[in-house]
Amino acid sequence: MSIDSLKSQLPDFAKDVRLNLGAIANDDSLGEQTKYGLLLACAIATRNADVAAAFDREATSHLKPEARDAARSAAAIMAMNNVYYRFVHLASNASYRTLPAKLRMSVIGAPGVPKTDFELWCLAVSAINGCGACIDSHEKVLIEAGVTEEAIQTAVRFAAIVQSAAVAIEAARLPVLA
């Protein structure tokens, strides 16, 4: 399954999602590895098997195995970090902010792809998962590394579109009630 086959699965009520997926396919503003790693990490973060499979298939012809693994790592590590740091951020008890996380996350330091790619993927996954603390942390690293606000906004826009495809597919599977 590819982006085109995913688009064909979308029902008419999701026409805008279909059009937005087409726009992603034609947008080369991030560069090939950055774009396809981002899309794969975000697709995995949606937790929708059809969306993950479509973007994994699409990524296969655009990414080296190390980059595919790094995208998978970004989705996996952010699944852990987003839960933990969202809790720390939202908890009324400020003492949680002073306790060590005790979470292994060495992949962030050595992801196997350029640091800016991995950070952008982590930021986009954090947007899907709704962790403001992680969004702020990754955005700061990206800005300090010279990544533009436009590139960051594009990454989050792509994440939003990928997430909307997953929701549309799930909505289409709901039983029709008379």
Q: What pLDDT digit, counting tens, does each position of 113-122 carry?
A: 999 999 999 9
Rounded Cα distance between 48 and 128, Å, is 13
Q: What mean pLDDT do residues 137-145 have?
A: 98
Question: What's the pLDDT score for residue 9?
Answer: 87
Q: CB under 8 Å to 139, separation ≥6 — which residues?
A: 123, 152
Q: Which fold is adopted by the domain 3-102+113-172?
A: AhpD-like (1.20.1290)
Q: Which two structure tokens, joined as six digits, stand for 59?
A: 């990524």
Are 42 and 128 spatial neighbours (Cβ–Cβ below 8 Å)? yes
2: left (phi over 0), alpha (psi -120 to 50) or beta: beta
Confidence of residue 2 (pLDDT cuts 50, 70, 90): confident
Q: What mean pLDDT do residues 152-159 have?
A: 98
Q: What is the pLDDT of residues 164-173, one digit of tens each?
A: 999 999 998 8
Confidence of residue 178 (pLDDT cuts 50, 70, 90): low
Question: What's the pLDDT score for residue 1?
Answer: 57
Q: List, by residue number, the catalytic residues.
A: 131, 134
DSSP 106-172: GGGT--SS-HHHHHHHHHHHHHHHT-HHHHHHHHHHHHHTT--HHHHHHHHHHHHHHHHHHHHHHHH
What's this model's pTM, rounded to 2 decimal places?
Answer: 0.93
Rounded Cα distance between 110 and 94, Å, is 31
